[in-house]
Chain A
Amino acid sequence: MPTFTPEEWTAIALSVRVALAATAASLPIAILAGYALARWSFPGKALLNGLLHLPLVLPPVVTGYLLLLSFGRQGPIGAFLYDTFGISFSFRWTGAALACAVMSFPLMLRAIRLSFELIDRRLEAAAGTLGANPVWTFLVVTLPLALPGILVGAILCFAKALGEFGATITFVSNIPGETQTIPSAIYSYTQVPGGEAGALRLAAVSLAIALVALIASEALSQRALKRTSVFE
């Protein structure tokens, strides 16, 4: 077990906080968007789908730069949020969370959308004939059946958010204690002589967290798969 310096602990704790905030904030939006994409047809659906998946293929530095332009203190959305609610993203950990949320959103969305698409819609019809209105049907039938996929999406989002680097450093820079997450800390180590050991320690942490997350999401999707196949 390697021993971490206080600065490294700060970076690890900050990373976890940023990733948790990013996951929690994206989850309701991803559930809504996943349901809409799986079930509704509306004009501009293909465009919306493309926009939501854009962070997957754009260079992260471009996403970060776009965030800086729109959510920075001078940007249209950033200025509005600061003037109206006093919320600021620039060079703060909340900005790192926003960048991570945007970058990992497509992963979460894909898992959630797929789990909605796999649900037999006649189960929802059955709930309707039994007297459940559409909102109740969603809450007691659709959502619980999609839950394994939603959990998988949340875990993947969390793991991806922990590792996000390009958009975060472009949007909110690399300030120890405020925006320096594990990847940014590793980057800093590699920029100074003698930083190899520290970089290696933090790389090991990243590796461990990512691996645990992947194993957990795989186990969850296996469980979900087993249940649906038994049902057929």
Chain B
Amino acid sequence: MSDAPVPVSVQCAVRLGTFTLDVDFTAAPGLTVLFGPSGAGKTTILNLIAGLQRPDRGRITLGSDVVVETARNVFVPPHRRRIGLVFQDAQLFPHLTVRQNIAFGRWFARRAAPCLPLDQVVGILAIGDLLDRRPARLSGGEKQRVSLARALLCAPRLLLMDEPLGGLDDARRSEILPLIERLRDEVAIPILYVTHDRDEALRLASHAIALDRGRVRAAGTPGKVLRRSGAG
């Protein structure tokens, strides 16, 4: 496994009740924003890539690895994909301390790939003082930072973030935004970042994909894509 950023390529169709998702796009190295209003299918795309949902038909590749290909009946289960997922509401394990939470993925990935140094991740995300606490005693911003650390430390080939700032107030947002920028610039892991906030998208994206009602509306440089899209 090389350390070079691995782009992800997604061609998928899935029907969920009356909603149909049918997308075809690739993400560039760096941070790719999936931008669109709620109901555009952003979270569904992340679930498909992480393996939490199966497409009706389609193909998803991570670098040179095929993780889903319905035509050949290929479906790699989530625990073998090595994709870090940051949930909007953190989803930390309530029965484990912060230290145990962030060690979780590290332990399972120990044979698969070298991890980022723990100290570096703990340092960038400034969670050194929280390590012995339980999630119930963390603020929303702290939870989200721990959740980022946990996803980073599972040696992911790709990091998925589902509106990680969605549940936070402005003060907490401005505390975490610079951290995500540092991750984008200092850690060589491609990031797919879901948001419906145009300012956040413009600030973070090195590449942008605009979605609307289950379709890709535009893809390219953030300036162009985010101006053209009517969403947000």
Contact = CB atoms under 8 A, between A and B. Distances in A.
A184 B79 CA distance: 54
Contacts of A130: 79, 84, 104-105, 108-109, 150-151, 154
Contact of B83 (A129, A133, A137, A145): A129
Contact of B78 (A120, A128, A140, A228): A128
Interface residues of B, number: 27
A120 B91 contact: yes
B116 interface: no
A122 B91 contact: yes
Nearest to B150: A130
Contacts of B87: 122, 126
Contact of B154 (A120, A122, A131): A131
Contact of B108 (A123, A131, A134, A231): A131
A129 B78 contact: yes
Contacts, number: 72
Interface string A106-128: 00000000000000101101111
B172 interface: no
A132 B154 CA distance: 10
Given A127-B104, A132-B108, A141-B93, A231 B79 contact: no
B108 to A, nearest CB: 3
B8 to A, nearest CB: 14
Contact of A125 (B52, B82, B94): B52
A123 B101 CA distance: 12
28 contacts: A120-B91, A122-B87, A123-B93, A123-B94, A125-B52, A125-B91, A126-B85, A126-B91, A127-B93, A127-B104, A128-B52, A129-B50, A129-B51, A129-B84, A130-B109, A130-B150, A131-B79, A131-B108, A131-B154, A132-B104, A133-B79, A137-B79, A140-B104, A141-B93, A145-B94, A145-B95, A227-B94, A228-B94
Closest 10 CB pairs of A and B: A131-B108, A130-B105, A128-B78, A230-B136, A129-B85, A126-B91, A231-B94, A130-B154, A133-B79, A144-B95
